[in-house]
Amino acid sequence: MREADPDKILDVLEERALRSAADEILEPEIDVRDALGIAPAEPTPDLTLGGYIERHDRPPAFTGSDDQPYTVAVDVDETGDPARPFAAFLLFVRWAATGAGIMGHLESGDVAYGATEEEARRRALDLSLYELKAELDSAIARRAAELEATNDSPGHDPVSQ
């Protein structure tokens, strides 16, 4: 029985992978409805927060405008306003780059309202992933502005921090 040359095995595997990739269609599929200007009857299920969680059994993850990793959750508070008694907001949990621990969090402003806590939560779960990303980047910008204002305030000593 002869021994196989490891370098030759890798060359054969690489050649097979390249042939397999060449057989695949590399052009994106055309969305006929979009090309004709026809709006879909309902959004793609996992393009909303609730749909994503339902389909993938986990919250979506984003890279924020600060290049940090975040996941998102919905929370609801009472507003004290009888016309809109409950408001939902987003809680963005910032993770360590390794994913090994939580490094902090950010909150959005109110993103949905409801007569009940459940109604406000449901409306927040209907937000698209694009809206969530925009809220995350807005929260990051607000935090940066707050930190800058604190650092620029009279009596602030950056050396003592």
Q: For 3-27, give one letter per residue: b (16+ CB within 10 A) or e.
A: eeeeeeeeeeeeeeeeeeeeeeeee
**Which pLDDT does position 153 carry in this prediction?**
65
Hey, where are the domains in the chain?
A: 44-154
Q: What is the DSSP letter of 28?
A: P
Closest C-alpha among 45, 44, 120, 107 to residue 70: 107
Q: Both tokens of residue 105?
A: 């969090």
Structure confidence by residue, pLDDT tens digits, 107-147: 999 999 999 999 999 999 999 999 999 999 999 999 999 99
Answer yes or no: are the C-beta atoms of 84 and 113 closer than 8 Å.
Answer: yes
pTM of the model: 0.66
- Coil, helix or strand at residue 17: helix
The phi, psi pair for 135, rounded to 5°, reads -65, -40
CB 43 within 8 A of CB 55: no
What is the identity of the amino acid at 93?
Answer: V
pLDDT tens digits, 12-48: 777 776 666 555 555 556 666 676 776 666 656 789 9
C-alpha 136/C-alpha 128 separation (Å) is: 13
Beta strands in 96-135 (DSSP E): 102-114
